[in-house]
Amino acid sequence: MTEIPEHLLKRAQAARVQSAGSADSTDAPSSGGAVAVQEKVSSVVTAAPTGGGPLGTGPGGNTQRLLTVVKSGSIQDVKATPVDKVHTWPHLLAVEFVAALACMSFTFFFSVFVNAPLLQQADINKTPNPSKAPWYFLGLQELLTMFHPMIAGVTIPGVGLIMLILAPYIDKNPSNKPEDRKFATSLMTVHLMFWAVLVIIGSFFRGPGFNFTLPWRDGLFFEL
């Protein structure tokens, strides 16, 4: 509990003494004493004291006591810098849900008007040459021509996925500006370029027998 300042207590005690003196003087029978009391009360109410600040008095000479001073900072919660954060629900999930619906609708209507580029029925007596995987697996098939299947199919893709998983825990920079996220930008760029180069080589630079060829000389051996 906040204590009352000492100078306010002294001021209140002085006012009580003056009020008590005024009450004693009103008991005198003479009219001159009544006039003197009236003048004294008026001087107490209207006169401004010269020392220790103004004396607060109410009707009838009652003193007003100041209990405490409340600072504006204790009742106002003013944040100097805005917080760039929103709640996951509904702000983020609502947008993601609408985006998922839009992608599903586009895929559905696109599949109604455009047929999938399927090849003819497979013939067990005729193996296509070259035999290529779908384009999104051609990077992995290209690695199989360079390394052992254990290295190309497990070790290299596993290391790449683990690095991408650990990237947010290694680079904890909260900035959203690309120029401030050099580590994350470099890591993702290397990953995309590495896989894109392998897919391009497997798609356009591999011919019969999955041998290296030049598309502008021997033509394209690539089908979706």
Residue recorded with tokens 């947008």: 95
Going by pLDDT thresholds of 50, 70 and 90, the confidence category of residue 45 is: very low
User: Are the CB atoms for 179 and 168 separated by under 8 Å?
Assistant: no
Average pLDDT over residues 51-80: 56
* C-alpha–C-alpha distance, residues 202 and 222, integer Å: 9
- pLDDT reported for residue 66: 59
Is 75 a residue whose pLDDT tops 90?
no
Task: Answer with the residue of higher pLDDT: 34 or 217.
Answer: 217
Nearest to 64 by CA among 1, 15, 7, 2: 15
Mean pLDDT value across residues 111-140: 85
**Across the chain, what does the average pLDDT equal?**
77
Domains and CATH numbers, the chain: 6-70 (no CATH), 124-218 (1.10.287)
Report how far Cα 194 is from the mean position of its chain's Cα atoms. 33
Token output for 61: 């000479």
For 187-217, the pLDDT digits (tens) are 889 989 999 999 999 999 998 988 999 999 9
Average pLDDT over residues 9-22: 80
Q: Quick one: what percent of the chain has pLDDT higher than 90? A: 27
Token reading at 168: 């947010």
Instruction: Give the pLDDT of residue 168.
Output: 85
pLDDT band for position 223 (cuts 50, 70, 90): confident
Does the structure show a pLDDT above 80 at 46?
no
pLDDT at position 76 is 56
